[in-house]
Amino acid sequence: MATVKEESAGTINGLDTNKLFSVAETVKQNWESGRTVWKASTSWKGGFRVETRSREFTLTADEPEMLCGTNTACNPVEMVLQAYGACLSIGYAMNAAVRGIRIDDITIDLEGEIDLPGFLGLEPPEKLNMDKLPGFKTIRVNVKMKAGADNKTLQELHNHVVSTSPVGVTLSRPVKIETRLEA
């Protein structure tokens, strides 16, 4: 991370704050410009390997050997954790920059528990208190940040970033999903 002396005027945390303010002003002037659509596509590559694409970027997904995969890539639920961590990191960098806070380092560790019976379509014994629904029950996040601000300011930044993270908000509430099959 560049230090304040290394960054040009109007650049904090590697971000051009003038451009950030300009984007915000553009949306304020024309709220419809803030309505965006993001896209992804996937292609099955055999077994549990899947190639995912968004814009010109490609990622591969797989399952670990314990789930009969070939362990060549992260699995989709790990990608969800990665997406949330990345979204938070971006939120910290942007919101700190527009507040004039220089960030020296951010490390975010995430974990979530998933009961496999739901994924496998099994009915778990009641005494085990496992959920038959697939998916995360809780995601735990630990943020470690070194920045040029006091703890109170960093806690305010943290609260704002968590409450405005698109991935975090998406994970925390029901989202309408519409699927259709073309066979």
Same domain (yes/no): 123, 165: yes
Is 92 part of a structural domain of the chain?
yes
Is 140 part of a structural domain of the chain?
yes
Same domain (yes/no): 66, 136: no
Q: Which one is predicted more confidently, 87 or 12?
A: 87
For 51-98, what is each residue's pLDDT tens digit?
Answer: 999 999 999 999 999 999 999 999 999 999 999 999 999 999 999 999
Same domain (yes/no): 67, 109: no
C-alpha to C-alpha distances, 127 to 47, 121, 131, 132, 133, nearest whole angstrom:
33, 18, 11, 13, 16
Domain with 145 in it: what CATH number? 3.30.300.20
Domain that holds residue 119: 75-173
Same domain (yes/no): 109, 169: yes
Rounded CA separation 168/161 (Å): 9
What sections of 16-150 are H helices per DSSP?
Answer: 17-29, 76-98, 116-120
Helix (H) or strand (E) holding 109: strand 103-112
For 134-168, what is each residue's pLDDT tens digit?
Answer: 889 899 999 999 999 999 999 999 999 999 999 99
Rounded CA separation 143/181 (Å): 40
Q: Which one is predicted more confidently, 177 or 121?
A: 177
Domain count, the chain: 2
**Cβ atoms of 163 and 146 closer than 8 Å:** no
Is 166 part of a structural domain of the chain?
yes
Q: In this structure, what token pair is assigned to residue 9?
A: 């005027």
Same domain (yes/no): 67, 93: no
Choose the final residue of a domain: 73, 99, 128.
73
Q: In this structure, what token pair is assigned to residue 38?
A: 């993001």
Written as one string, the DSSP assignment of 122-147 is ----GGG---SS-S-S-EEEEEEEEE
Half-sphere exposure in the Cβ direction for 26 (13 Å, CA): 9
pLDDT of residue 10: 84
Same domain (yes/no): 87, 124: yes
Q: Is the pLDDT of residue 5 over 70?
A: no
